Amino acid sequence: MFATRAQPVASVLSAGVQTRNMATLREIQLRLNSIKNIGKITKSMKMIASTKVSKAQRAMETARSYGATSAAVYKNANTVPLETESNIWVVSSSDRGLCGGIHSSVAKATRKLIAEDTAPVAGVVVLGDKAKNQMTRSNRGDIKLSFNQIGKAIPTFAEASAAADTILTSDVKFDTATIIYNKFQSAIAYEATPIKNYSIEAFKASENFTAYELDEEVLENYNEFLFANNLYWALVEGHASEMSAKRNAMENATKNAGEMVDRLTMTYNRTRQAAITSELVDIITGASAL
Amino acid sequence: MNFLARSVRAVRPVRMVRSYATEAAATGLRLTFAVPHQTLYKDASVAQVNIAAVSGDMGILASHVPSIEQLRPGVVEIIENAATKKFFVSGGFATMNPDSSLNINAIEAFPVEDFSAETVRHNLAEAQRVAASGATEEEKLAAKIEVEVLESLQAAINAK
C-alpha cells in the first residue's frame, strides 16, 4: 500500500526516470561515472592533440614551401594535362579515427573529382586505412594499392619516397597523378584539395617549356622527385589538418560530456530527493494512521 | 654560348666581386632553398649561388638561363651580399625560373663546418668495406652510393 502511494510522487519529481527509485539511482550513478571517465579520456586526448598540432603545423610550413618550390616549375611553364592521358588518384589520409570528418572529406572529394574528370581512370591508391574503408565502398574495383601505418607521427620524407617508389614501380600504368589531401586552412577549417603531378609529355608540351634548358634524363628523374615531393607535402599537411581536427573533435566531446554530467547530476540529486521525500511521506502517514 | 654561360666553373674571386656589384644591383637573384624538414632560404635575395650539378659545377647569377639541374652530392655555396655560406647537400634538384628565382630542393643539407671529419673518415672506411664485401648486390650498391657521398663530403671538408 505504501509502495503504490509513493509511486506518483516519485514519477512527478523525476520526470522520465523509472519509478524504481533505488535501481534508478544506481543506474544514474553508473552512467554518471562512465561519462565522467569518458570526459577525462577525451580531455587528455585533446591535450595530446593540441601539443601535436603545433609541431605538425611547423612541419607543415616547411613541407608546404618545399612542395611549392617544386610546383613552381609547372606554374612557370604553364603546364596543362593532355586530353588522352590516364590519371591515377592518390588519396592521402591516415589510419587514425576520432578526428571528425577528415577522412570522409578526402574520400568524398575524390569521388566527386573522379565523376567530373573526363580522363580515363588508371586506378586509385589509398594512403591510410580509414580512407581505404570509405573508398572500397564506392570504388572497390579501382583500388590498386593501399598503404597503412600512416599518421602515428609526422610523416617523413623517407616514408613519402618509399610510397612514391612503390607506386611508380608497381604494375599500375598511369600518366598523370592527382593527390587529394586535406589542405590546412585554419585551426578549425580544412578542405580536400588536389595536387596535380603531370606527365613528362604534358610538361614537354606546355607553353613555356622551351624556355628551360635540360637533359632528357634529368627530366625523368625530376618528375619522379616531384611526385615524392608532392606526396610528402600532402602527407604532412594532411597530418596537420588531422591533428587540428582531432583537437576540435575532442574539445567538443569533452564539452558534451561535461553537459551530460551536469544534467545527470541534476537528475541524480532530484531522484535522491524524491526518494527521501517519499520515505518521509510513508513514515508520516504511517505515524498519523496510528 | 649557352653552355658557356651556365657552366661557369667556380669563378675566381676577382670575377665574383665584380659580378655581385653589377648583377645583383639590377634585379637580384631570389633563392628558395628547402629540405623536407626545414626551409633554409625563403625567397631571399642573394648575389650568387654555386651548385654541383650532375652535368658539372656551375655558378648561378641573376637572369641565368632557365634550367632544371639535378644535384649530385656536393657543396652548394651561397654568396650573400656580405657573407658566404657553404652547405653540403646529399642530392636534389635546382630549378632556375625565368623570373630570376632559383629553387633548390635537396633531401638533406647541412653547413659544411658542422660535419666532423673524424666521423666522416670512420663511416667512409665502413662503407668501403661493405661496398667491397657486401652480402647482397643491393647492399653493395647502397654502400657504393654511400662511399660516393662520403668521398665528396670529405673533399668538401678538406677544401675548407
Length of chain B: 160
Contacts of A173 (CB under 8 A, 6+ apart): A86, A122
Same domain, B76 and B146: no
Within a domain: residue A22?
Answer: no
Same domain, B34 and B108: yes
Q: Binning pLDDT at 50, 70 and 90, where does residue A19 land? A: low
Which among A156, A212, A229 is the nearest to B105, CB-wise?
A: A229
What are B68-94's pLDDT values in tens digits?
Answer: 889 999 899 999 877 889 999 988 999
ipTM over 0.90: no
- Cβ A70–B105 below 8 Å, yes or no? yes
Same domain, B73 and B137: no
Q: Give the residue numbers spanning the domain of A147.
A: 57-248
The answer to whether the CB of A220 falls within 8 A of the CB of A203 is no
Mean pLDDT for the stretch of residues B38-61: 89
- Cβ A66–B39 below 8 Å, yes or no? yes
C-alpha cell at A60: 607543415
Same domain, B107 and B119: no
Within a domain: residue A18?
Answer: no
Mean pLDDT for the stretch of residues A131-146: 90
Mean pLDDT for the stretch of residues B22-42: 76
| Tally of structural domains, chain B | 2
Lowest mean pLDDT among A47-51, A123-127, B16-20: B16-20
Same domain, B102 and B147: no
Q: What is the CATH number of the domain that holds B51?
A: 2.60.15.10
Q: What is the CATH number of the domain that holds A196?
A: 3.40.1380.10
- Cβ A66–B36 below 8 Å, yes or no? yes
- Cβ A65–B39 below 8 Å, yes or no? yes
Q: For residue A212, how far is the Cα from the chain centroid?
A: 41
Within a domain: residue A221?
Answer: yes
- Cβ A225–B93 below 8 Å, yes or no? yes
- Tell me how close the Cα of B1 comes to any Cα of chain A, in angstroms: 13
Per-residue pLDDT, A40: 96
Same domain, B18 and B65: yes
Which among A66, A73, A214 is the nearest to B34, CB-wise?
A: A66
Same domain, B25 and B80: yes
Same domain, B14 and B88: yes
Same domain, B10 and B30: yes
- pLDDT at A224 exceeding the cut of 80: yes
- Tell me how close the Cα of B37 comes to any Cα of chain A, in angstroms: 6
Q: Give the residue numbers spanning the domain of B140.
A: 115-159
Same domain, B68 and B140: no
Same domain, B108 and B123: no
Within a domain: residue A284?
Answer: no
A224/B146 Cα distance (integer angstroms): 21
Q: For residue A267, how far is the Cα from the chain centroid?
A: 35
Backbone angles phi, psi at B80, to 5 degrees: -90, 180
| Tally of structural domains, chain A | 1
- Based on its alpha-carbon atoms, the radius of gyration of chain A, rounded to whole angstroms, reads 29
